[in-house]
Structure 1
C-alpha cells in the first residue's frame, strides 16, 4: 500500500510537470514565472523518482541513511525556493516585471532564512552531516511557511477575478506544509506519516497545478506598495530575533547566528533599495510635473493643480499669458536667445505673483497662473502687474470662478485662452472673459480648423477652390498722355467660406500665420495670378502684376523654388512685382536682404509695401534692391486734412525718387486726394476711387470699358 501511494505521488508530481512544460511552451509574456514552476516540479519529480526507486527496491524511507536524505532534502529545498520565486512573480500581476521579481526574491529569502534561524534557536539540531540534513529539512519547511503567508496575504490583495486561484494555491501549500510538519515531529518511523505525506502531496500537486493553469484574463496592476516594506521588515525582525536568540542561548547555535545574519543583511539591502526607489519615484514625479527650461510647473502639473483647486468650492482666477511676436525673436536671434528670454520671463512672473499662486509654462511662449481666492478685479490687477514685470510685450486673458458655479478647471482655462486672444486682437494687454470674447474664440478655432482642411497637407484640389484671387488696378498719376492709364494690378485673396460666405483677408490671415499655412496660400495666389497675367498680356493689355509675401514666407525655403516655377511656367519676371512689407523686412534684416537680392536676381521687381508703418532706417532702405515704394493708406487718407501728414508724403516721394524708386499711393478714395497726390509727385495710385478688388473676369470687363480695348479672351 505504501509503495502504491509513493508511486502515485511521483506520477502526480510528474503529471504536474508535464502540464507546466506545456504551459511554458505556449507562454509569450510571463515566461520567467513558468520557468520557475517547471524547475521546481522538475526537482520534485527527480527527488520523488529516486525515493520511489528505493521504496520499490525493498528499502524503507527512514532506513536509507543520509546518502538519500541529503539529496532529497536539498532537491526539495531548492524546489521550494523556485516555487516561491515563481509565485512571487505571479503575484506581481504584470508582464515583464523581472526587476520587481528579483526584489521579492530577496525579501522572500530573507524571511525564510530569518524564520529558519529562529527555529534553530528553539529546536536542537545535531552537528555534522546529520545536522546539515536537518537544516535542509527546516529550510524546506520554512520556505513553504513563508510562501503560505505570502499567498494568504495576496489572496486578499489580488483582483477579485483571480482571488480564488490564490486561495487554491495557498490551500495546496498548506497541505504540503502540514505533511512536512508531521514528518518533522513524528519522523519517518510510521508508515501512516509517509502514507499521509504521499497522499496529501498528490492532492496538493493536482489542486495547485490546476489553480495555476486555469486561464483568466485580468487587468494588470502593480502590487500593493505596502507589501515590500512590510515583508522586508518581517525578514529584518526574524533575522534580529535569530541573532539575539543565538546570543542568549546557553549552547552555541552557529546555524541560527548565520541564518539570522544573512536575513538581516538581505532585509537591510532591500530596505535601502526601497528608500532609493522611493527617492527616484519622488524625483520622477517632480520631473514629470516640471518644465525643464524654466523650472515651473508644466501643463500636466498645472491641469492637476487646476482640478484640485476647482474642487475646493472656493473662488479663484486663472490667467493665461502669451508673449507677443516671440516667433520673431527666435527667427531673428535664434532659439538659444529665445530660451533665455523665456527663463528670464518666468523668473519675473514669479516675483509678480502673490504667495500661494501657481505659475506654469504650458508650452512655447504661453504661461498660466492660478490665483486662489481672487475675484475679477484682483485677477485683473495681477495680470497688469505681470505685464509690468516682464521686459517684453504680452497679452493676458483673465477668467474667474466664484466657486459656486459648476465650471471645471479646464473650462476656466479655455475661457482664459479666449480672453487672451481678445486681448491680443485689441492690443490692450489684458482682457477679461465674456460671452463676446468666447464666441470670437470659438469662431477663431473653427476658422483655424477650416483653414487646415482647405490648405493643409491633406487638402484636396477642390478645397483650394474656396480661395479666389481678386485684382485691384494701379493707375498712373503722372501728367501727359499716360495719365489715368492702368499700368498694373495687385492680386488680393478672398475666401469663399462654405458657411460664412466671402471673407476678406483681415478675417483669416492672422489665423493662417499661426497655422503656418501662409506659404501654401501665397503659392496658390501667385500661380493663379501669373496665369491670368499671361492671358491678359497675350490679349494686348500691357500690365504688370503685384502679389504680396508675408513675413513668414519671406524666410520660407520654398519661396525661391516657387519663383523659379513661375518663370518655368512661362511668366516674364520683368512684369511681376513681389511686395514685401517694411515690418517683415525688419524682423531679420540680414536674411531679408539676402532673400530680396535673390528675388531681383531672378528678374522680378521688388516693392516695399506699407512704407511708413515700420522702423526701417534710411541706410537699410538704400541697400535694398527695390524698384517700388508703396505709401500706406494710413498716410494717404489723412493727407488732405493734416498738413504734417502731407509733408511726410511729399518727403517720402522725394526720397524715393532720389533712390530711383517708383511711388504708388494706396487707399485713394476720392478725386481731391488723387489731385493732392499728383501734386506731391506720386507716380501711381491705387484705391476704391478706381475700383474695388474684383475677380479676374470682372476686372477684364472693367479694363476693356476703361481703355476701349476689344475683347479677345
Structure 2
C-alpha cells in the first residue's frame, strides 16, 4: 500500500508540475489577461510545493500519519490557498470581460468572506474537536468552502463564455465538483483507500483541466455593459452566511465556538467590502455627474445635452431647441484676457438659466455657445423664450430656434443642426433671433461648403494653383482738384469659385474670418497688387496703391513680416497705403496704436478707413501716425440731400487738414456729389462715377484711355472701348451693377486686406 501511495503521489506531483509549466508559458504570452493567469500560476505553484513535500516524506519511507501535524497543516493550508487563488483567477477574468477594472486590493474580501461564512455554517452540523486536531478539521472545511466558491465562479463564468470554449469551461467546473466531493468524503469517511484513490484522481484531473485550459487560443470577448450585481451579491452571500453561523453559534456555544469566530470574520469582511462598494457607487455617481457638467458654468455640457436631446426627441412631445452664441466674444478674450471672458460666461449662464421657463434644460456646448431644450412649446413660444434670453443677458448675442412637434421624424442632432443654421442667419442679419426655415438651412449648408472650399484654396495644405481662384480688382482714386488726375488705386478681392462663379467679398469674408484665413488672403492680395503696381510704374504710371487690413489681422504678428517682405521685394513703401478701419482701431486701441506706429516706421502710409462709423475719440485720432482719412460712403451719398450731413463732412475735412491728413471721399457716384465734395475741400474721390473695380489689365487700358492715349495706339493694344466693363455677375448680388453694389454694402466693415468699405462699395 505504501509503495502504491508513493507512486500515486509522485505521479500527482508530476501532473501538477506539468500544468504549472504550461500556465507559466501562457502567462508570459498574455497582456491584458495576465492577472488571471498569474492567479492560476500561484495556485498551482502552491499545489506543486505541497505535493513535492508530501512526495519527499512518503517516498522517504515515512507514513503520512506518522509525519505529524508539521506535514498535515501545510498540505491543508496550501490546498485552501490554491483553491482561493483559482477562484480569484476566474473572478478576475470575468471582470476583464466586462470592461470593469481588475480585482482591486479589497476584492479578495468577497471570496474570503464567503469561504469563512460557509465554513462557519458547516461547523454548526459537525462537532469540531479542540486543539490542533480541530485546526486540521477547520482547514479541511475551509478547503471545502473555497472549492464551493470556485465551483460557483466557474459555473457563472461558463455561462458567460463564448460558445466555442463553453464546453471546456464546463469540464473544468465538473472537475472542481469532483475534487469537492472527494474532500467531503475525506471529512466524512476519513483516509480510506478508496477515498485516497479518488482524491488522487481528482488532483490529476484538476491539473489536466487547467493545463488544457492554458493551451486554448487567447481570445477575449467583451460584453457591451459591465455587470453591477456580482460584487454586491457575493458580499451579501458572505454576510448572510456569517450571520447564520453567528446565530447558530449563539444557540450552541459550547461545541461550535469555531462557527462563532468564522461567522464573525465573514461578517467583518463582507461589511468592509460593502462599505467600499457604497463608496465606489458614490464615486461613480459623482463622476457621472461631472462627466455631464460644464466645469466653468455648472451647466450641462455637450455630452449631457445631446443625451437629453435624444431622449426628448423620442418622447413624442413637442419641444424647441435654442442655440445662443455671444457676439464678438473673441474680442473680449483678446482685449481683457481669458479670466474676464470666463467671468462673462459664468454670469451669462446665471442670467440665461433664470430667464428659461421651468423644466427647460440649459447647457454650454463649448466656448461662448449655449443651448437650451424647452419642452412643450411651439415656434412662437420658442421665439418668445429666445427674445427673453437676449433681454436677460444684456450683451450682444444671436439665437437660432428650431422646433419639433413630436410627431415629425426629426432627430435631436438634426434639430440642433437646424438651430445652428438659424443662429448663423440671425448673426448675419443682425436680428438677434431667427427661426429655422428652408432658406436659412440652404444658406447654412452653402456656408459650410464655402468654408471647406476656402480651406482648400487658402489653407496651409492648399496647392499653389488654388490661389489663382482669387482675383485682384482695382478702383481708381481721382484728384478732386485741377484736371482730376488719377493718383492712386485701391486693391479689392474677388473669388472665382469653381462652381458658383465670381463671388463678391460679402459672400465669403465673414467665413474667412471664422476659419482664420484672413492673413493668407491679405498676403496674396498685397503681393499681387504690389507686382501690378511695379508693372504700371514701368509703363510710366506713377500711382499710389491702397489695400485694407481686417481687425484681426491688425493684431497678427505676421503682418509686419509681410510688410518687410514687400519692401525686400522692391516695393516703395512711400507709394503703398495700408488702410485700417476706425472700428478695428477701437477694438484694442493700445495694441492697434503700436502696430500702426510699426507700419509707418517702415515707411508705409497709413489710412483711416470708414471714418465716422466707429465713434473714435478725437484725442485717439490725434495720436495716430496717419497720412490719410477716408470719409465713408454713408456720408458722401447723403451729403447733397441733407445739410447736416454736409456739415459733418465739411467739419471732418477741416479737422483732417488741420491734422495734416489727406481726405479721400468714398462712394462718389454722380457729378453733383463730386462738385459738392470739391467745395467742401476733399482732396480725392473714389467711386462708380470714375470706374468700377476692374482687373489689372482692364484698369491699365482704362487709365491709358483717360490720359489721352491716341485711339490708334489703343486699337493696337486691342482696346476697342476704353470704358471699363462692368464686373461679372456675383453670387452675392442680383447680377446688375446696382445689385452688386447693394449686395456688398450689407456686409460689416471688419473685413480683410482689399476688403472692408471698399468691398462693400465694390
TM-score where L is the length of structure 1: 0.96
The question of 1:443 aligning with 2:443 is answered no
What RMSD over aligned residues (CA atoms) do the two structures have, in Å? 2.1
The question of 1:229 aligning with 2:239 is answered no
Tell me by how many angstroms 1:183 deviates: 1.4
Q: Distance in 2 between matches of 1:105 and 1:169?
A: 22
1:391 to 394, 403, 412: 394
Q: Is the 8 A contact 2:425 2:434 kept in 1?
A: yes
SS of the residue corresponding to residue 471 of structure 1 reads strand
Q: Distance in 1 between matches of 2:550 and 2:148?
A: 78
1:336 to 335, 339, 355: 339
Which aligned pairs between 1:396-475 and structure 2 lie closer than 5 A? Answer: 396-475=399-478
SS of the residue corresponding to residue 630 of structure 1 reads strand
Q: Deviations over 1:183-215 (max 9, x none)?
A: 111110x21111111123222321243235412
1:211 to 213, 217, 230: 213
**Corresponding residue for residue 127 of structure 1:** 130
**Corresponding residue for residue 201 of structure 1:** 203
Which aligned pairs between 1:102-141 and structure 2 lie closer than 5 A? Answer: 102-141=105-144
Q: Which moved further from structure 2: 260-269 or 226-235?
A: 260-269
**Corresponding residue for residue 284 of structure 2:** 281
Q: Is the 8 A contact 1:88 1:104 kept in 2?
A: no
**Corresponding residue for residue 28 of structure 1:** 31
Q: Distance in 2 between matches of 1:175 and 1:460?
A: 74
Q: Distance in 2 between matches of 1:321 and 1:702?
A: 49
Q: Is the 8 A contact 1:175 1:201 kept in 2?
A: no
Q: Distance in 1 between matches of 2:226 and 2:105?
A: 14
1:292 to 275, 278, 295: 295
Show structure 1 runs of 5+ residues with no match.
none
**Corresponding residue for residue 634 of structure 2:** 634
**Corresponding residue for residue 552 of structure 1:** 552
Tell me by how many angstroms 1:666 deviates: 0.9
Q: Distance in 1 between matches of 2:575 and 2:589?
A: 26
Q: Relative to structure 1, is the Cα distance of residues 552 and 165 closer, same or farther in structure 2, using a 3 angstrom cutoff?
A: farther
Tell me by how many angstroms 1:662 deviates: 0.6
**Corresponding residue for residue 364 of structure 1:** 367
**Corresponding residue for residue 619 of structure 2:** 619
Q: Is the 8 A contact 1:5 1:199 kept in 2?
A: no
SS of the residue corresponding to residue 625 of structure 2 reads coil
1:167 to 167, 170, 187: 170
Tell me by how many angstroms 1:564 deviates: 1.3
Q: Is the 8 A contact 1:466 1:495 kept in 2?
A: yes
Q: Distance in 2 between matches of 1:396 and 1:609?
A: 31
Q: Deviations over 1:85-114 (max 9, x none)?
A: 222212213499765343431211111122
2:159 to 156, 167, 175: 156
Q: Distance in 1 between matches of 2:163 and 2:633?
A: 76
Q: Distance in 1 between matches of 2:681 and 2:567?
A: 33
Q: Is the 8 A contact 2:362 2:370 kept in 1?
A: yes
Tell me by how many angstroms 1:237 deviates: 1.6
**Corresponding residue for residue 526 of structure 2:** 526
Q: Distance in 1 between matches of 2:267 and 2:162?
A: 32
Q: Is the 8 A contact 1:232 1:270 kept in 2?
A: yes
SS of the residue corresponding to residue 551 of structure 1 reads coil
TM-score where L is the length of structure 2: 0.90
The question of 1:44 aligning with 2:47 is answered yes
**Corresponding residue for residue 10 of structure 1:** 13
SS of the residue corresponding to residue 218 of structure 1 reads coil
Q: Deviations over 1:600-651 (max 9, x none)?
A: 1111111011111111111111111111111111111222222222222111
Tell me by how many angstroms 1:559 deviates: 1.1
SS of the residue corresponding to residue 357 of structure 2 reads coil
Q: Distance in 2 between matches of 1:451 and 1:285?
A: 40
SS of the residue corresponding to residue 552 of structure 2 reads helix
Q: Is the 8 A contact 1:397 1:419 kept in 2?
A: yes
Q: Paired residues, what number?
A: 709
Show structure 2 runs of 5+ residues with no match.
718-762
Tell me by how many angstroms 1:9 deviates: 2.6
Q: Distance in 2 between matches of 1:503 and 1:2?
A: 98
Q: Is the 8 A contact 1:632 1:665 kept in 2?
A: yes
Q: Distance in 2 between matches of 1:641 and 1:539?
A: 42
**Corresponding residue for residue 260 of structure 1:** 263
**Corresponding residue for residue 706 of structure 2:** 706
